Structure 1
Amino acid sequence: MTTHDIPDSRTEEADLRADIYALLAALLREPPSEALRQWLAGLEGEPDDIRLSQAWSRLAAAAADSDVERLERAHFRHLIGVIQGDVLPYASYYREGGLMEASLVALRRDLKTLGIQRSADVSEPEDHLAAMCEVMAMLIGQNDQRAGSFFHRHLAPWANRCMHDLARVDTPFYAALGELATLFFQRESAILIDNTTLGTPVPGTSVHEDRGQALGAGE
């Protein structure tokens, strides 16, 4: 076996983290399909992290104990709603108390720098948590050192609060999803701290914007 044949544990860990971001994005954006529900029901926890392992187990149990129709209704009630859902998973809402605020403007500048555009078939603003998780999955999957800067500028100030609110809803599946995401983001915050000074920081936001001070509404 040559050195090129030896698996890089860091690469495997990064791939796993990217996959988790992609999964969170999928579950926040829309209810799971039957195939995804069954896959989730068979998940096992991570033995190296007891709290995350327990959260994965609770999500798996909730998936096994539910069905697609109930999850479709729950997703609409909790994350969409007729006027609004129980939880509004938008950065502007949690950082500035409204939608289409300054944090969305700053995010769009950074996404433009990264060369990322919103898909034409997506109606939600880019500061939807699902969209941000998709960006993180892409950056980590590509080993882009700007992932740490992006996380701490655009997710760290509010994502945990949002998922803590989701963890309090009355549907076991989405409560478990909120708990899992909260713990995952907490771990990501620790992992990505050391990376925020590596590579080229994501330009376009000032310290004041990072702290959530409004610069004005805009789309």
Structure 2
Amino acid sequence: MSAATIPVHAQPSWSEEDRARAEHYALLARLLHGAPDAPLLAALAAAASALGGTAGALPQAWAALGAAAGAPLQGVCDEFNALFISVGKPVVMANGSWYLTGFLQEEPLAELRADLAELGLGRRAGVTETEDHIAALAEVMRHLVLTGPDEAGLQRQRAFFARHIAPWYADFAHALAQAPGADFYAKVGALLLAFMDIEREAFDMLEVSA
């Protein structure tokens, strides 16, 4: 599991858009926390094929990820380990503090922990990743989407995204795209970039209209 404790309570007013957003955040959290299993790869391939030839950056990213999901499971697992698991510095860092300051455990992490505390969220016992890991942040956004479909909830989503994800998600995606040996996870990065770009643009419009 990722680094934030996420108590999710059912909301009767979820829109289809909110459900789709929550599902994207959940998928990114799952893929970036650990290597996929065979059923997940099969589901990715099926979901991508259902999109057909839909135009746009997000459908194209889905199509590319679906094609990459046809790779052998062991190869994808090896790729995850090679990119993210290391006794020293991983090939690709997945922590916001690294992209914002060049170091881990810095001021952005302290600010994030303070904001999580205000939201009533915290780190799960036994979790090794810090709260600024991209998978943990995606889980937090999923929680905020599912528990805040109203105007106040949207403003919480916008504020959290703007402060803790928007400044560095593109750098993380580009690091995946350029990482030696990255194939499946380069496609994961492209999906993250396309989806987060849509989120950022929507939140920018929300801020303008506020």
Q: Following TM superposition, by how much is the alpha carbon of 1:114 offset from its aligned partner in structure 2, in angstroms?
A: 0.2
**8 A Cα contact 1:167 1:177, kept in partner:** no
Query: What is the identity percentage for the equivalent residue pairs of Structure 1 and Structure 2?
Result: 36
Counterpart residue type for residue 175 of structure 1: A
Q: Following TM superposition, by how much is the alpha carbon of 1:101 offset from its aligned partner in structure 2, in angstroms?
A: 0.2
**2:175 maps to which of 165, 168, 171:** 165
- 1:196–1:149 distance in 2 versus 1, CA, 3 Å: farther
Hey, what's the Cα distance between the residues in 2 that align with 1:105 and 1:159?
Answer: 18
Give yes or no for the alignment of 1:74 onto 2:84. no
The answer for the alignment partner of 1:183 in structure 2 is 194
1:147-162 → structure 2 map (5 Å cutoff)? 147-162=157-172
- 1:118–1:49 distance in 2 versus 1, CA, 3 Å: farther
Gaps spanning 5+ residues in structure 1: where? 1-7, 200-219
Q: What's the secondary structure of 1:131's corresponding residue?
A: helix
Deviates more, 1:124-133 or 1:171-180: 171-180
Q: Following TM superposition, by how much is the alpha carbon of 1:151 offset from its aligned partner in structure 2, in angstroms?
A: 0.1
The answer for the alignment partner of 1:27 in structure 2 is 31
**8 A Cα contact 1:31 1:72, kept in partner:** yes
RMSD of aligned Cα (Å): 2.1
The answer for the alignment partner of 1:122 in structure 2 is 127
Hey, what's the Cα distance between the residues in 2 that align with 1:198 and 1:72?
Answer: 44
Give yes or no for the alignment of 1:89 onto 2:94. yes
Which is helix-richer, 1 or 2?
2
In the TM superposition, structure 1's runs of 4+ consecutive aligned residues that sit over 3 Å from their partners are 45-49, 194-199
Gaps spanning 5+ residues in structure 2: where? 1-12
Hey, what's the Cα distance between the residues in 1 that align with 2:53 and 2:199?
Answer: 17
1:30-109 → structure 2 map (5 Å cutoff)? 30-44=34-48, 45=51, 49-64=55-70, 66-109=71-114
Hey, what's the Cα distance between the residues in 2 that align with 1:96 and 1:182?
Answer: 21
Greater CA radius of gyration, 1 or 2?
1
Counterpart residue type for residue 79 of structure 2: A
Deviates more, 1:52-61 or 1:41-50: 41-50
Query: With structure 1 as the length reference, what TM-score do the two structures score?
Result: 0.81
Q: What's the secondary structure of 2:94's corresponding residue?
A: coil
Structure showing greater relative contact order (alpha-carbon pairs closer than 8 Å, 6 or more residues apart): 2
Query: With structure 2 as the length reference, what TM-score do the two structures score?
Result: 0.84
Hey, what's the Cα distance between the residues in 1 that align with 2:106 and 2:81?
Answer: 24
